[in-house]
Amino acid sequence: MHAGIIFLLVIIGSILFHIFTPWYWTDIASNWKGMDDTITLTFWVGGGVFVAVCLFMIYCVFRYQHKEDRRAEYKPEDKKLEKILTWATTLGVAALLAPGLIIWNQYVNVPKNAIEVDVMAWQWGWQYRLPGKDGKLGTTQVRNIADNNPFGINPDDPFGKDDIMVESDVINLENNRPVKILLRSVDVLHNWYVPQFRAKMDAVPGTVTFYWFEPNKVGEYEVLCAEYCGVGHYAMRGGVEVQDKADYEAWLGEQETFEQLSARYEKLNVDGNKLAKK
Amino acid sequence: MSDEYDNNKSYQAQSSEVMDGSTGSVNPDIDYVRPSEVGEQELYHPHSFIEKWVFCQDAKVIGVQYFLTAVFTGVVGLILSWLMRLQLGFPELAGFMTAEHYYQFVTMHGMIMVVYFLTALFLGGFGNYLIPLMVGARDMVFPYVNMLSFWMFFVAVAVLMASFFVPGGPTGAGWTLYPPQTILEGTPGAGMGILLMLISLSLFVIGFTMGGLNYMITILQARTRGMTLMRMPLTVWGIFTATVLAMLAFPALLVSAIMMTLDKVLQTSFFMPTILKAGEVLEYGGGSPILFQHLFWFFGHPEVYIVALPAFGIVSDLISVHARKNIFGYRMMVWAIVGIGALSFFVWAHHMYVSGMNPWFGFFFATTTLIIAVPTAMKVYNWILTLWRGNIRINVVMLWCLGFIVTFVNGGITGIFLGNVSVDVPLSDTYFVIAHFHMVMGIAPLMVIMGAVYHWFPLVAGKMLDEGLGKWHFWITFLGAYSIYFPMHYLGFIGVPRRYFEMYDSPYMTSAVGMNEFISIAAFIVGAAQFILIFNIIKTLKTGKKAEQNPWKANSLEWYTSTVPPEHGNFGDRLPVVHRWPYDFSVPGAKEDYIPQTTAPSEVIHTEVEKT
């Protein structure tokens, strides 16, 4: 008897916790509301099944408690019931899978007008690069990376010259404009993750991965590394600032291109050499 | 060839309780069981203390050895989890703990619990003890190899534990050991620690293969007369299928461990691309970190079912015995176990939706993953339908079974979130994942292990564990574990990432502090409650009530041995002959509410038994 009551309280407690929880997802700041909706749908269907199964179990515990003079029913199989349950479950699962796959299809197909952002990860920090006026990022190679070329851009690649180098671990994004995040890593796995955007993907050394989203709420967000990357993993934070078009363009104008950066280093070198000669 | 066909008489006496008074004579037609095709197994009997208790070839002793060693590793894993929870809930009290320590504890806790505790306990422990008894064999078919299997496991555990004491400490790469960080500076234990881990895993796989061959071949070849495959207890089906999975999945772990060892020691580049570290380009190039993830999860996902399937099987038997009712839909249960086992090889990349693999894989693996939910749901339905119209004893064993159903369904449902590719995107690598897999493959199988301990202890030790202590043990563990992992899902919704030594003051995470404290306190209590079981076992061994033979009135063969606890050879002079499945409970017309598997049809002639 007591057992059934405690189990019942556990189920009621779970439902109440879900209704009154102060811990729930952060306000969404991107286009991936479909993910939230699918979670909500799964919650209703899955939660319903959980509660139904547990309540049935608790009913059995109350109703069919052991009595010496009673016998259980003897019925090894019930083909019809098993068939109904199989098909009902299959339908339920299909109903959950369908929206999941539809949204995944959107997730892996990047809109044509998305602006590319090159996110380069290293132990333990982030760097960003944007395409210049030509709208194309220059090709890169890990071996080219140096002080005067933090992204390892191929010096011969004409597309690389006007690439915009963001010298900060905070990247600014334009509100309501889709971004394609290109992820690279120079050492180990990382993952550029902003909870409010919902989306994430690992950065894998040796290859370029991607995902996209469209920020739709002006504000500042924290970037977290979401793939374990060694002892500094928990401290590997960065930032995003989503701005309106005007603010964003003002910010963009202040950034240095790869050509300017190279020139600055060359001048530093020349000055350095002069100093050394003196 | 030994043909013991006319041994019915000896079994008549044993099952006289259910004998119908009017049938004194044996009817050879309905009682016919095909004669055995091979002779009796010759057993090697021990000649000394060492052969009897140390290098023993009796599967039952080996089972207990596996069990105790696995429990030892489990206690180590438990202590590590306490330390982790201390850091997460009360960092001000964990001043001695650096980030290095924390990640080492996380890694060792995960690896120990999954491989060295759960896998070894279910297959090495329960498998060894129960398979020969349940299929009516005198022992495993290769007792010597079986003995080697345990000692290989023992060495693997010793090597693993040794890594705590080497310079740099154990590996802190996370239990998934994802390269490149696993073998690079910047990850704790990237020197000796990771090497010992890889060696230990390789030894484990070798040892496990020796045991696994035994389990499979014993079940296929050494079943007693009349024990058809479809008369085997579901426990045996679960362990059998899990062993087949392990035989196919562990090689993937072994090769990835060997390849990573080569990357570490000989600077090969199986998993290592060009890497820039502290301004230097390392001597690696062209390898694929994602290849490792494919290999690891090709092992890792079946591994989940290597743990789950024996639990499914055992809990089916426990529920049936204690609800005094046949397991509902036995054939469906068998096919669900086999089907889940087969499907488990086609879902591995659902751990990798955001790994950077080709995103088109997502469609395939989400579909296969959700298909696996169907046979799994059928098993759940059949468990609760077994309770329905049963005659349920609410004892400690049944409580653990009910706890299993609640936690397993809870964890199974959250699996549908994570399996459904785009829903996984916001949740992966957060606390939601931690809550999910602890609920479904930590707590749920643990509930079954505990139920099984209370159920079979009278057989193994000949004494009954204390029910009162058992109830305390159950309720603290169940309520505590549920209040650890149920709220933890909601941390994942907030977006709190896993494997964070410290959260700092991220604006949306500060609200999680209170919950982290609560979870930590619950974790300390649940961990401490496990010592109730150890106390109960010691107390019972000293002063416990002696168990009668077959105290639960079960039908399967392990309760019908010549002595309790069973001695070497299990069944005395003659092996039992099986006439029915093990689930003939509450059969209409029978005197008792159970009919042992050894009861011939002619002895229960007025019952309405369905042919099995």
A25 band by pLDDT with thresholds 50, 70 and 90: confident
- Hey, of A59, A188, A190, A201, which one would you mutate to test binding to chain B, going by the most B CBs within 10 A of its CB? A188
**How distant, in Å, are the alpha carbons of A116, A138, A155, A181, A245 from that of A135?**
8, 10, 18, 14, 17
Give the per-residue pLDDT at B50: 87
A10 Cβ under 8 Å from any chain B Cβ:
yes
Q: pLDDT, tens digit, for every residue of A183-193?
A: 999 999 999 99
Residues A102 and A127 in one domain: no
Q: Tell me which chain A residues have a C-beta less than 8 angstroms from the C-beta of B174.
A: 228
Best interface-test mutation with A: which of B103, B316, B401, B420 has the largest number of A CBs within 10 A? Answer: B420
Q: 3-class DSSP state for residue B116?
A: helix
Q: Which of A181, A146, A141 lies closest to A157 in space, CA to CA?
A: A141
The CA distance from B577 to B594, in Å, is 17
In this predicted structure, the answer to whether residue B20 has a pLDDT above a threshold of 70 is no
Of A49-58, B276-285, B437-446, which gets the smallest average pLDDT? B276-285
Query: What residues in B contact A71, CB-CB < 8 Å?
Result: 324, 391, 586, 588, 593
- Nearest Cβ partner of A108 from B187, B288, B360? B360
Q: Measured between beta carbons, which residues in chain B are less than 8 angstroms from residue A30?
A: none
- Does the residue A69 lie in any domain? no
Q: Are residues A142 and A198 in the same domain?
A: yes
pLDDT at B23: 44
Do A159 and A263 sit in the same domain of this protein?
Answer: yes
Residue A20 lies in a domain: yes
The share of chain A scoring above pLDDT 90, in percent, equals: 74
Q: Is A145 found in the same domain as A243?
A: yes
Q: Give the span between the Cα atoms of B281 and A171, in whole angstroms.
A: 27
Question: Do B499 and A228 lie within an 8 Å CB cutoff?
Answer: yes
- B150 has pLDDT over 70: yes
For residues A257 and A179, membership in a common domain is answered with: yes
Mean pLDDT of B533-556: 93
Q: Is the pLDDT of residue B340 over 50?
A: yes
Comparison of pLDDT for B30 and A39, the residue scoring more: A39
The angle formed by the CA atoms of residues B19, B20 and B24, to the nearest 5 degrees, is 85
Report pTM: 0.92
Residue A71 lies in a domain: no
Which pLDDT value is given to residue B17?
40
Do residue A97 and residue A161 come from a single domain?
A: no
CB neighbourhood size of B530 (10 A): 18
Residue A72 placed within a domain: no
pLDDT mean over B48-70: 93
In chain B, residues with a C-beta closer than 8 Å to the C-beta of A26 are 494-495, 508
Facing B366 at nearest CB: one of A86, A101, A183: A101
Q: Is residue B611 predicted with pLDDT exceeding 80?
A: no
Average pLDDT over residues A204-229: 94
Question: Å from A5 to nearest chain B CA?
Answer: 13
CB contact under 8 Å between A101 and B426, yes or no, is no
Closest-approach residue (CA) in chain A for B387? A60
The number of residues making up chain B comes to: 612
Q: Is B175 on the interface with A (CB under 8 A)?
A: no
- What average pLDDT score do residues B303-321 get? 96
Report B:384-443 residues touching A (Cβ under 8 A). Answer: 384-385, 387-394, 399, 402, 405-406, 409-410, 413-414, 416-417, 420-423, 425-430
Whether residues A192 and A102 share a domain: the answer is no
B494 at interface of A, judged by CB pairs closer than 8 A: yes
Q: Is any Cβ of chain B less than 8 angstroms from the Cβ of A87?
A: no
Asked if the model's pLDDT at residue B148 lies above 50, the reply is: yes
A247: distance to nearest CA of chain B, Å? Answer: 24
The tokens for A258 are: 């790869």
Residue A243, strand partner residues: A174
Does residue B7 register a pLDDT over 70? no
Query: Is the CB of A117 inside 8 Å of chain B's CB atoms?
Result: no
Tokens 């003939």 sit on residue: B584
Residue B39: per-residue pLDDT: 80
A127 touches chain B (CB under 8 A): no
Closest CB from B391, B420, B608 relative to A100: B420
pLDDT digits 0-9 by tens, B365-374: 999 999 999 9
How do beta strands A190-193 and B463-464 pair? unpaired
How many residues are given for chain A? 278
Scan for tokens 């993953």, then name that residue: B369
Domain assignment of residue A95, yes or no: yes
Phi-psi bin for B154: left (phi > 0), alpha (psi -120 to 50), beta?
alpha
Please, which pLDDT band fits residue B19 given cuts at 50, 70 and 90?
very low
Chain-chain contact of A200 with B377 (C-beta, under 8 angstroms): no
Residues A168 and A244 in one domain: yes
Which pLDDT belongs to residue B124?
Answer: 95
pLDDT tens string B494-537: 889 999 998 877 777 777 888 999 999 999 999 999 999 999 99
Q: Are B490 and B414 in contact (CB under 8 A)?
A: no
* pLDDT in the model for residue B28: 61
Q: Which residues constitute the domain of residue A101?
A: 2-64+78-108
> Among B442, B483, B515, B491, which Cα is nearest to A14's?
B483
Mean pLDDT for the stretch of residues B316-324? 96
Has residue B568 got a pLDDT over 70? yes
The answer to whether residue B361 neighbours chain A at the CB level (below 8 Å) is no
| CB burial readout A241-271, b (16+ within 10 A) else e | bbbeeeebeebeeebebbeebbeeeeeeeee
Q: Does residue B563 belong to the interface with chain A, where contact is any CB pair within 8 Å? A: no
A235 by DSSP, 3-state: which? helix
Model pLDDT, residue A277: 67
Assess B505–A contact: CB distance below 8 Å, yes or no. no
Residue A40 maps to a domain:
yes
What residues of B are in contact with residue A52 (Cβ under 8 Å)? none
Nearest-angstrom CA–CA distance, B236 and B65: 20
Cβ within 8 Å, pair B374-A90: yes
* CA–CA separation, B264 and B285 (whole Å): 13
- Picking from B103, B330, B425 by the largest number of A CB atoms within 10 A of its own CB, the best residue to mutate is B425
Read off the pLDDT of each residue in A169-179 and give the average, rounded to a whole number: 94
**pLDDT tens digits, B158-183:** 999 999 999 999 999 999 999 999 99
Does A15 share its domain with A98?
A: yes
Q: Is the CB of residue A23 less than 8 Å away from at least one CB of chain B?
A: yes
Q: Of B554, B514, B66, which is closest to residue A23 (Cα–Cα)?
A: B514
Residue A243 belongs to domain with CATH number = 2.60.40.420
A7 touches chain B (CB under 8 A): yes
B chain contacts of residue A196, beta-carbon cutoff 8 Å: 495
Question: Is B291 an 8 Å CB contact of chain A?
Answer: no
* A237: confidence class by pLDDT, cuts 50, 70, 90: very high
Q: Which residues of B touch A229 (CB under 8 A)?
A: 181, 186
Classified as helix, coil or strand, A64 is coil
Interchain CB distance below 8 Å, B487 and A183 = no
Reported as a single tens digit per residue, the pLDDT across A114-141 is 999 999 999 999 999 999 888 889 999 9
Residue A277: inside a domain: no
Pairing of strands A237-243, A202-203: unpaired
Query: Alpha carbon of A85 to those of A82, A222, B570: distances in Å?
Result: 5, 46, 41
Q: Are B146 and B59 in contact (CB under 8 A)?
A: yes
Structure tokens that stand for B88 in this block: 């997460």
What is the CA angle A32-A25-A201, rounded to 5? Answer: 50
Mean pLDDT of B105-120: 96
A57 and A120 part of one domain: no
Q: What is the pLDDT of residues B367-416, one digit of tens each?
A: 999 999 999 999 999 999 999 999 999 999 999 999 999 999 999 999 99
**Nearest CB to B354: which of A191, A205, A229?**
A191
Q: Are residues A127 and A231 in the same domain?
A: yes
- Stretch B221-237: mean pLDDT: 94
Q: Rounded distance, CA A154 to CA A148, Å?
A: 12
Q: Is the pLDDT of residue B157 over 80?
A: yes
Mean pLDDT rounded to a whole number for chain B: 91
Contact flag A73-B413 (C-beta cutoff 8 Å): no
Number of domains in chain A: 2
Flag whether A122 is in a domain.
Answer: yes
Q: Could you give the 3-state DSSP secondary structure of residue B579?
A: coil
**Domains in chain B, start-ordered, CATH in brackets?**
54-271 (1.20.210.10), 310-547 (1.20.210.10), 550-612 (no CATH)
Residues A119 and A102 in one domain: no
Q: Enter the DSSP assignment of B392.
A: B
The answer to whether B588 contacts chain A (CB < 8 Å) is yes
